[in-house]
Structure formats: structure tokens, C-alpha cells
Amino acid sequence: MANPIKVLSTVCSIEDRGEGVYLVTFGLPARATKFHPGQFLHLTLDPFDPTTGFWPQSRVFSIASEPRLDHVTVVYSVKGTYTRRMEAELKVGKEVWLKLPYGDFVIDEGLLKVGPVVLVAGGTGVSPYIPFLLQPRSHSGTVHLYYGVRREEHLLFSHELEKLTREPWFQRHLVVGQLLSIDSMKADLGAQFGHANFFLSGPPIMITSFKAELLARAISAQQIHIDEWE
């Protein structure tokens, strides 16, 4: 995988999705566009001096756009001091430093030779799946996206996901106002449930619960992949 680099970037656009959720796009130099779908970046609001190498306080965000573009998109929810700073300080045209790419939450298309790939997303946890879903397909397997939100207006990337429903390899399962259910997934997948690889991204309590439930249903730890920013 590409080695992380530090780049000075400019805020290109900010989309307010309501209730403290924002989609932010940053311009990228060509040398920073080589990453893998599922990876994440570090964003700092504070000045960075490349001559010292000292990296300021930062936060990590899943990359929600395709590789090799001239920009990168992240989604964040205002939940703490740093994200409140982001809401107040990020403006179109503002320069910030990014450090990318990081992480191994990468979906190997070879897994589709074994069984379906099941992407489980809670809220903004859908972000790391978008680059994978939008890239050209080279497999014949099936990808299931189970995406849960509290209200319909909280759905992210609706246009992109709607277009994907025309693809024979993609199955979208939207759950609004209810908890995502492994029993529903098992009913949908049938005999393929035991052969599936599960990717989990969302609130930590959701990930912990789903992992425990999957293990209890004889899904091996090797079949469970978690979006961990460590």
C-alpha cells in the first residue's frame, strides 16, 4: 500500500446534511491520490511546519471518494470538541493539512470467490464503502450493503447508491428508524450466510454487538472485518 504523506490542501466544498453532519471535499495534489478504497486520512486544523516534522492534534476520517481524483471527500458528525471546531472553522478556500493514506479496511475482491461480501454501515459508517462500490468491477460475486440510519433524510450518497441498484452484483438494504438485524441478513443470504465476509463500519457499540452476534452464529473471526482507526 502507498506510504502516508503530508499534503497542504484546500477546502473545495462543504455540504451541510443537517443535524451536525457534513460532507467536506478537499483538493489533492496528484501525488496524494493513490490510496485504496476503505482507507482513512488524518486532518489537522492547526498549522503544520514540514521543517520540524511535528504533526499537530488531528482527527481521522474515512475517505469517501474514489482514488486518483483531484480531490478527497470525508463525512463527519459533530460530536465533540474537535468536530465542533471543524464546524466553526472549515470554510471553502481554507487551507488545511492532511496526512494519508492509512488503514487496512480494504475489501479484497478475491473474497467474492468464496461467498458474498456484506457491508454493514451505521450512519456515517457508510463512508469507507463508497470508493469500493464506485470503482469498476472485475468480479462476478454479490455485494450486499446493509445501511441503517435514524431518519430517511440522514441517508448519505443516496444518488450514488440509487444508481448502483441497477447493477446485478449489488443489493441495497436500507433500514430507517430501526436497528440493523443479523437475523434479517441471514434470511436474505440463506445458505450463503456462512460463506459471507462481513465488513462492519459505524458506531463502536454497533460494531461490538454485531461482531459478538456473528461469532455466536458460527461466523469465524477471519470472516469479520472491522473499520478500526488504530
pTM for the whole thing?
Answer: 0.94
Q: Domain of 40? A: 5-102
Amino acid 27: pLDDT: 97
* Exposure of 173 in the CB half-sphere (CA atoms within 13 A): 20
End-to-end CA distance of the chain: 16
- The answer on pLDDT for 131 being more than 90 is yes
Q: pLDDT for 149-200, tens place per residue?
A: 999 988 999 999 999 999 999 999 999 999 999 999 999 999 999 999 999 9
Helix (H) or strand (E) holding 146: strand 143-149
Residues 126 and 176 both lie in one domain: yes
Tell me the mean pLDDT in the region 134-143: 85
- Among 75-79, 107-111, 117-121, 196-200, the least confident range: 107-111
Strand segments, DSSP code E, in 38-142 are 40-44, 59-62, 71-77, 95-102, 117-122
Out of 85, 102, 119, pick the residue that ends a domain: 102
Q: Are residues 122 and 94 in the same domain?
A: no
Closest among 98, 168, 79, 170 to 129, alpha carbons compared: 170
Is residue 78 within 8 A of residue 87, CB to CB? The reply is yes
Residues 22 and 90 both lie in one domain: yes
Q: Are residue 89 and residue 146 in the same domain, yes or no?
A: no
Tell me: do 114 and 216 sit in the same domain: yes
Give the closest residue to 131 by CA, choosing from 59, 74, 178.
74
**Nearest-CA neighbor of 105 among 63, 157, 149, 75?**
63
| Domain shared by 64 and 83, yes or no | yes
Domain count of the fold of the chain: 2
Q: What is the CATH number of the domain that holds 154?
A: 3.40.50.80
pLDDT single digits (tens) 21-58: 999 999 999 999 999 999 999 999 999 999 998 999 99
For the chain, the average pLDDT equals 94
Residues 170 and 95 in one domain: no
Does 222 lie in the same domain as 113? yes
Instruction: Give the domain-ending residue among 102, 122, 151.
Output: 102
* 169 lies in the same domain as 92: no
- Kindly tell me if the per-residue pLDDT of 230 is higher than 70: no
CB 156 within 8 A of CB 23: yes
Name every residue whose Cβ is closer than 8 Å to that of residue 20 and which is 6 or more positions away in sequence.
77, 78, 79, 83, 87
Is residue 64 scored above 70 in pLDDT?
yes
State the pLDDT confidence band at 138, using cuts at 50, 70 and 90.
confident
- What order of strands is seen across the sheet that includes strand 197-201? 170-176, 143-149, 117-122, 197-201, 224-226
pLDDT at 229: 65
Would you call 9 helix, strand, or coil by DSSP? Answer: strand
Other CB atoms within 10 Å distance of the CB of residue 22:
19
> Binning pLDDT at 50, 70 and 90, where does residue 220 land?
very high
Of 77, 102, 127, the residue that ends a domain is: 102
Per the rule left: phi > 0, alpha: psi between -120 and 50, beta: everything else, 132 is alpha
Res 129: pLDDT: 97
60 and 45, same structural domain?
Answer: yes
CA distance 50 to 28: 17
